Amino acid sequence: MVHILNGEQFADENILEKIFKRARELEEADAEGQAPKLLSGKIVATVFYETSTRTRLSFESGALKLGGGVISVADPKTSSASKGESLEDAIKVIGGYSDIIVLRHPENGAAARAADVSRVPVINAGDGSNEHPTQALYDLYSIQKELGKIDGLKIAFMSDLRYQRNAHSLIPLFCLFKNLEIYFIGPTELALPQVYKDRLAAAGIKFKELPQIDSILPEIDVLYVGRVFKERFQDEAEYEKLKKSFFVDQNTLARMKKDSLILHVMPRVFEIDPKVDADPRAGYFRQAKNGLYVRMALLLYALDLY
């Protein structure tokens, strides 16, 4: 039984290549209407104790395309979590109704707690501000697909790195690529936690923190934008102060390389002017679609159905 809990477990070139190859095959098969029905007879439980559009619906769509069935908690208010049932009890019960559980939860470490008691594989679909490994995998897949490589690129994050959990899951994956240059842009209040900087430093990955993007904009290959995570702030005034820390518009585009790529973790709130969407460098909607195929590959990986 393989649980998918964090980015670190994918910090292996062979595993990454296997998942990316499978995702490409599934995308090609789906384009022909021929996705293999490898989940026939299997039930995927999507258990979301926090809101989601992309993650829940892409897992459910992927499960259905692969011939599986889906049961879902889309809102904890409609489940017995609202009556005080523990996560552990819920997972033990749901594991009796399903073959795999995709879990989103507001608490850091919830996916590992679920995996400890689960009789079926658990996929971490985001646990608090801790990790979001399936998003990190399709982020990397998107960079590879759009730019043809990962190593050697200059990647700038202009986002809330304190809370952006997919960025945390990406750190060990970046450590596989020794010639990356990474920039973390933004106010110190939203800086990447030290533990992740230590991980990059230990792997010898070059990175720099900068308050503004201007000086490096013409050099970067990937601009990864994200929102400020309102739901994680204890202090609303602090969120109000920081919420518009990041902004990309046509002036930003004008200073970027012609063959660069803009990604966004999504949902977008204020950070990218919708006028940017028409530019071929705006890759965030393609990135979200890639999530479908990477997640199909991950369902098969966790269920050992390769």
**Residues 34 and 157: beta-carbon distance below 8 Å:** no
The residue type found at 269 is V
124 binds ligand CP per the rule CB under 6 A: no
Q: How far is the CB of 37 from ligand CP (least distance, A)?
A: 25
Q: Which is nearer to ligand CP, 205 or 298 (CB)?
A: 298
135 binds ligand CP per the rule CB under 6 A: yes
Q: Cα(128)–Cα(66) distance, rounded to whole angstroms?
A: 29
Residues numbered 144 to 203 that lie near ligand CP (CB under 6 A) are: none
Q: Which is nearer to ligand CP, 243 or 257 (CB)?
A: 243
Using CB under 6 A, pick the residue from 34, 53, 86, 212 that binds ligand CP. 53
Length of the chain: 306
Q: How far is the CB of 306 from ligand CP (least distance, A)?
A: 25
C-alpha dist (Å) from residue 80 to 37, 77, 120: 32, 8, 20
**Residues 166 and 254: beta-carbon distance below 8 Å:** no
Structure-block tokens of residue 131: 């990790």
**Residues 188 and 218: beta-carbon distance below 8 Å:** no
Sign of CA dihedral 263, 29, 53, 167: negative
From 111-119, 140-148, 205-213, 265-273, span contacting ligand CP (CB under 6 A): 265-273
From 72-80, 112-120, 262-270, 296-304, span contacting ligand CP (CB under 6 A): 262-270
Catalytic residue numbers read: 54-55, 83, 104, 132
Residues that bind ligand CP (CB under 6 A): 52-55, 126, 135, 265-267
